[in-house]
Amino acid sequence: MTPTRSLHRISPGIRRATLIVGAAIGLAITPGRSEGQWPQFGGARQDFKVECKGLAEEWPDDGPKKLWNRELGDGYSGIIVDGNVLYTMYRTKEDKEAVIALDASTGKTIWEHAYDCPVREGHVKEFGTGPRATPTLDGDRLYTAGVSGHLHCLDKKSGKALWSHDLWKEYEGTFLNHGFSTSPFIYKETVVMLVGGKGHAIVAFDKKDGKELWKKHDFGNSYATPKLINVDGEDQLACPMAAEVVGICAATGELRWSVEQKNQWGQNICQPTYDGKDHMLFISSVEPACSKGIRLTRSGEETKAEEVWTNRKVRVHHSNAIRVDDCVFTSTGGDGPGLYFAVDAKTGDMKWRKRGFAKATSLYADGKFLVLDEDGKLGLVRATPEKFEILAQAKVLESQAWTVPTLVGTKGYLRDRKNIMSIELGRDAYASAANGGKGKRG
């Protein structure tokens, strides 16, 4: 771990990549979102935390109860939930991308919106050709981004396209080897997209008609989604770009801060975590970058950021990170082994690292972690700064299960590159069962 060092500051509005920022207060809730649903990547608060109680702590030997399972298609797009309707995306066999609405109770198709999406030259096909971004729900509209930069606004009830943009064609943004991956982010009346390129690294559109409202900055794009934080009364978006993580004013797009985060492939994917009580921002990516703790403070018209710590043993690739109290829990694995970590958010000290889940994504619910690794193994874990205890685990999906699970109430929704399924994770579903086998423990 590297000791504290101070970094210089600048006044608001200066558009250059210098490390600055304001101190955020608390966890920002995305405006206009319903708590009990899963409306966007990371959930209502973008923190991968679920408000629920009553999760079972033991599963049968064959894993949690499957409510339904159906074929879908290739892709890593997340699953969002609106009442009894699920939305996600996949690639069809006809070289099209499709946005699909499913009945959450049965998995049956309600509607599907498909469009031509030929794979761009130079796209690395080793891990599939997407889509990778997660739909975003706002009111009666659904916003989606395809692997070749097709941004759509759809009517959520019918799938009818209301407006669209071809981001790469219109802006000639950063070409990404694995395709466009930024999920649309709704801030008040705008849709904010990370595009990359000179003068249009970040673009905002009117969410009603798709009209461009502003475009700014010269950063290269990466594979992440903006995260909303509130900095002493100002809403900001923390945006992982190709070689830095930047913060902008959510309303105007003006630069507020920039933290260098260069890595081998320009892959800043992990969404930052932030806690306004101690003003600590956690960022992480693959080598030669690492994990960093940035303290955000603000005084008058000036803002600054202080790099408090670095930890070169924790390098998050495309897993997510979750902060619970003073600890960040996450999974690593790029070219190296997949390990699960607990890191002190204030000091960067490693509390523990454990094997058992290879390059995993996670949710936090009912005081436990629901962990899905890339090989399709699902686990229920009780993790604290002091211990890591596997309560139950079972293989439920096939390999390259990179999509973060979705959980609403006690119903879980999972997918890999072939299938999508619903599972029951509630304690009551198993209470009346005979005393059969219990899910394997670690």
The pLDDT assigned to 241 comes to 93
Mean pLDDT confidence for 432-436 = 50
Cβ-contact 307, 260 below 8 angstroms? no
The domain total for the chain is 3
- Residue 169 has what DSSP assignment? H
Walk across the sheet containing 150-155 and list its strands: 136-138, 141-145, 150-155, 161-166
Q: Is pLDDT at 7 greater than 70 in this prediction?
A: no
Measured CA to CA, the distance from residue 398 to residue 331 in angstroms comes to 19
Q: How does residue 277 score in pLDDT terms, banded at 50, 70 and 90?
A: confident
Listed in sequence order, the residues at least 6 apart from 300 whose beta carbon sits closer than 8 Å to its beta carbon are: none
- CATH number of the domain at 70, please: 2.40.128
371 lies in some domain: yes
Planar angle of CA 255, 256, 261, nearest 5 degrees: 85
Mean pLDDT confidence for 24-33 = 44
Tokens of 301: 């018209």
Q: Is pLDDT at 99 greater than 50 in this prediction?
A: yes
The pLDDT assigned to 4 comes to 35
Q: Is pLDDT at 335 greater than 90 in this prediction?
A: no
For residue 287, what are the β-bridge partners? none
The verdict on 91 and 215 lying in the same domain is yes
Mean pLDDT confidence for 391-419 = 95
φ, ψ for residue 200, nearest 5 deg:
-145, 40
The verdict on 70 and 81 lying in the same domain is no
- Buried b / exposed e over 84-121, threshold 16 CB at 10 Å, is ebbbbbbbbeeeebbbbbbebeebeebbebeeebeebe
Q: Is pLDDT at 15 greater than 60 in this prediction?
A: no
Lowest mean pLDDT, pick from 109-123, 293-307, 357-371, 401-415 = 293-307
Q: How does residue 210 score in pLDDT terms, banded at 50, 70 and 90?
A: very high
Measured CA to CA, the distance from residue 44 to residue 28 in angstroms comes to 10
Cβ-contact 130, 98 below 8 angstroms? no
236 lies in some domain: yes
Tell whether the torsion through CA atoms of 63, 318, 166 and 253 is positive or negative.
positive
Q: 233 or 441: which carries more pLDDT confidence? A: 233
Amino acid at 418: K
Q: Is pLDDT at 95 greater than 80 in this prediction?
A: yes
Q: 335 or 176: which carries more pLDDT confidence? A: 176
Per-residue pLDDT tens for 363-397?
999 999 999 999 999 999 999 999 999 999 999 99
The verdict on 258 and 364 lying in the same domain is no
Cβ-contact 48, 362 below 8 angstroms? yes
Q: Is pLDDT at 10 greater than 70 in this prediction?
A: no
Q: Say what the pTM is.
A: 0.90
Q: 27 or 57: which carries more pLDDT confidence? A: 57
According to DSSP, the β-strands at 419-424 and 411-415 are antiparallel
413 lies in some domain: yes
Q: 49 or 431: which carries more pLDDT confidence? A: 49
Per-residue pLDDT tens for 138-149?
999 999 999 999
According to DSSP, the β-strands at 244-249 and 255-260 are antiparallel
Side-chain half-sphere CA neighbours of 238 within 13 A = 32
Domain holding 396, by residue range, is: 51-74+326-343+351-430
φ, ψ for residue 169, nearest 5 deg:
-70, -40
64 lies in some domain: yes
Q: How does residue 442 score in pLDDT terms, banded at 50, 70 and 90?
A: low
| E strands in 167-207 | 185-187, 190-194, 202-206
317 lies in some domain: no
Number of other CB atoms surrounding residue 59 within 10 Å: 23
27 lies in some domain: no
The pLDDT assigned to 165 comes to 98
